[in-house]
Structure 1
Amino acid sequence: MISLAERLDRLTPEEVGSVFRLASAAGDADGALPLSEHTMLHLRHGGDEPSVHLVIRDGGELIGYAHVDVTDPVEGPSAELVVHPMHRRHGLGRVLVTAAVQAAEQADPVGRLRLWAHGDHPSASALALSLGFGRSRVLWQMRRSLFAVLPELVLPDGIGLRAFRPGEDDQAWIELNGRAFAAHPEQGRWDLRDLRLRMEEPWFDPEGFLLAERFSDKRLLGFHWTKVHGATRAQAPGHHHDPIGEVYVLGVDPDTHGLGLGRTLTIAGLRYLRTRQLDQVMLYVDESNEAARGLYSGLGFARWSTDVLFTRLLLT
């Protein structure tokens, strides 16, 4: 018997494992994982940040899940959800979104809610629009082959390239990241805990976390943090695919604009990923960021898939 959405403040380790298996099954069916890295990290590591977990079970099997993040007082609550591929077309997505709206109304004075749809599937768009949400942000996934020719790596005068040193570069990198992404709704707010959570992940590789440093004063001017997906079973339990590289985070100090450092760092990271014997590399970029899209297109990247953020339309 299928239950209604049950609200939980915390999940047991067994329930977290069930969510990961559910997300893996949906990702295999849809070609896009339904839960973001932020949500997966929160599930894996927990912490003191409050979240709302909405679960739907069929007997003892978890077949639907929604994560509602109520920690952002500026942008308001956000949610992601997943329904098992074998249990779709029965209104379970609508049940989860409705329950997420109720949770958001309890957490936010005006009932705001942002809803991510990874993969931009027509059924997800139809559901969101029917429940009073509008498209507010579009994120592209772009990919390129690592077999294709790469430009030569030429660094600007007075700038060197080296690997990130855990425990030594942490604070300096946080400050640089904040400057590079001052206007970004998520990335620019990272603190030391956000960095160190990712440093504990099985995919973390300091050799692939490249820093541009000025020789004269050792100031960090930019970075290219690469990532490899699927290199170990611990990274993607139950979700088996060939490893793929990622331009995980690329940023430069605003004072260096005009030096071409972003392009140089991108090339450096791609060359590093090639040494890992990878076939492909991916990245995410906002559709509205024409400068970044131009940079990546010029280096051979092409659009692969789309994620969409829907925002609840409120009466004024």
Structure 2
Amino acid sequence: MLSRQVVDQVLALAAAVAEADREYPLNEDARFALTSNDAGVEHRFERGGTDDLLGYAQGNRRHGTAQLLVHPEHRRQGIGTRLLHDLGPLPVWAFGDLDAAHHFATANHLVEKRRLLIMQRPLDPPVELDDPDIRPFDPASDTEAFLVLNAEAFAWHPEQAHFSRNDLDTRLGDDWYDPAGFLVSTDAEGLTGFHWTKRHPDGRGEVYILATGPRAQGQGLGRRLLAAGLNHLAEQGCTTVHLYVEAANTRAVELYDRAGFAVVHSDVLYGPPPEPSQEP
């Protein structure tokens, strides 16, 4: 685990990068990992002559991705490239898909591997909803079933498929967690889906995680869960809501598009190009 002093240095560096780029350079998983004992996470640092932190990189072997940042006053000095090489062949997230990220990727012979869309819409005023199959999550009775359902629903996803009991407990204990905003759907056999919402300190709402289990797909459950979560966020005073969705997940993108969401932003994962085919 990193010391408190080092964590504060990384967060100060991230704040400087965010101020310059208008884009925060570490996602939620990376921020949680700063204070965790996850053996799959590695940290790399570049320091100046006075021990100032000039660059930082974090590799997550469990997710197979990395994140790196360099102080705005020390860019174009090879720091990012050295950090990239220290991490090995892990693909690297570029939040905001900025021009600087394109140039860095090109200079290091990286290509786009994934694209994460950020979609947004205004929220309608809350209404009375009556859906007896949807209720708040109960940590005492739903935890194991939720973890199984999440793994089934996101078996294809590089990060969410590995969402663990520790990941869940960490988020349930975070300041933003709202028990009434974590909704699950059920049938006679158990959990069928869930919509975990998030209200940000500035009042924005977020579709944090939305999923339906394999046996409940194709029945309009995703649309119902989405509506219930959006209504909850509106009841909490949120006027806008956003979400993150894989561009390749066309089914989900279409669901959100039909619900009035529009793409406002994107993050890109850059990695080494595919190996040339060995076949003649």
Same fold, judged at TM 0.5 (above) = yes
* Kept after mapping to 2: 8 A contact 1:69/1:79: yes
Paired residue for 1:174? 147
Paired residue for 2:32? 41
* Kept after mapping to 2: 8 A contact 1:225/1:249: yes
Q: Distance in 2 between matches of 1:53 and 1:92?
A: 15
- Report how far residue 154 of structure 1 moved: 6.5
Q: Distance in 1 between matches of 2:19 and 2:175?
A: 21
Q: Deviations over 1:195-248 (max 9, x none)?
A: 11211211111110001122xx2611111001122x2xxxxxxxxxx2321100
- Report how far residue 153 of structure 1 moved: 4.7
* Kept after mapping to 2: 8 A contact 1:224/1:247: yes
Aligned length: 275
Match among 167, 173, 178 for residue 205 of structure 1: 178
Paired residue for 1:87? 74
Match among 159, 171, 188 for residue 186 of structure 1: 159
Q: Distance in 1 between matches of 2:18 and 2:127?
A: 34
Q: Deviations over 1:53-97 (max 9, x none)?
A: 12223324323111122345xxxx421011223333443322322
Residues 168, 99 of structure 1: CA spacing in aligned structure 2 closer, same or farther, 3 A cutoff?
same
Match among 226, 233, 254 for residue 197 of structure 2: 226
Paired residue for 1:127? 104
- Residue 142 of structure 1 aligns to a residue in which SS? strand
Q: Distance in 2 between matches of 1:311 and 1:210?
A: 36
Q: Deviations over 1:149-173 (max 9, x none)?
A: 6798574xxx511111122211011
Paired residue for 1:3? none
Paired residue for 1:30? 21
Match among 134, 138, 163 for residue 161 of structure 1: 134
Q: Distance in 1 between matches of 2:206 and 2:16?
A: 22
Paired residue for 1:306? 266
For 2:207, the aligned partner's letter is V
Matched, 1:99 2:70: no
Q: TM-score, normalised by structure 2?
A: 0.90
Q: Deviations over 1:172-199 (max 9, x none)?
A: 1111111211222221222212211211
* Kept after mapping to 2: 8 A contact 1:179/1:253: yes
Q: Distance in 1 between matches of 2:169 and 2:176?
A: 13
Paired residue for 1:57? 47
- Report how far residue 51 of structure 1 moved: 2.8
* Kept after mapping to 1: 8 A contact 2:17/2:69: yes
Q: Distance in 2 between matches of 1:212 and 1:149?
A: 23
- Residue 11 of structure 2 aligns to a residue in which SS? helix
Paired residue for 1:272? 232
Q: Distance in 1 between matches of 2:16 and 2:120?
A: 23
Paired residue for 1:141? 118
- Residue 177 of structure 1 aligns to a residue in which SS? helix
- Residue 93 of structure 2 aligns to a residue in which SS? strand
Residues 183, 51 of structure 1: CA spacing in aligned structure 2 closer, same or farther, 3 A cutoff?
closer
For 1:259, the aligned partner's letter is Q
RMSD after superposition = 2.1
- Residue 34 of structure 2 aligns to a residue in which SS? helix
* Kept after mapping to 1: 8 A contact 2:126/2:232: no
Matched, 1:292 2:256: no
- Residue 167 of structure 1 aligns to a residue in which SS? helix
Q: Unpaired segments of 5 or more residues in structure 1?
A: 1-9, 105-111, 232-241
For 1:269, the aligned partner's letter is G
For 1:224, the aligned partner's letter is H
Q: Distance in 1 between matches of 2:79 and 2:235?
A: 45
Residues 50, 258 of structure 1: CA spacing in aligned structure 2 closer, same or farther, 3 A cutoff?
closer
- Residue 262 of structure 1 aligns to a residue in which SS? helix
Q: Distance in 1 between matches of 2:134 and 2:40?
A: 39
- Report how far residue 22 of structure 1 moved: 1.9
- Report how far residue 34 of structure 1 moved: 1.1
Q: TM-score, normalised by structure 1?
A: 0.80
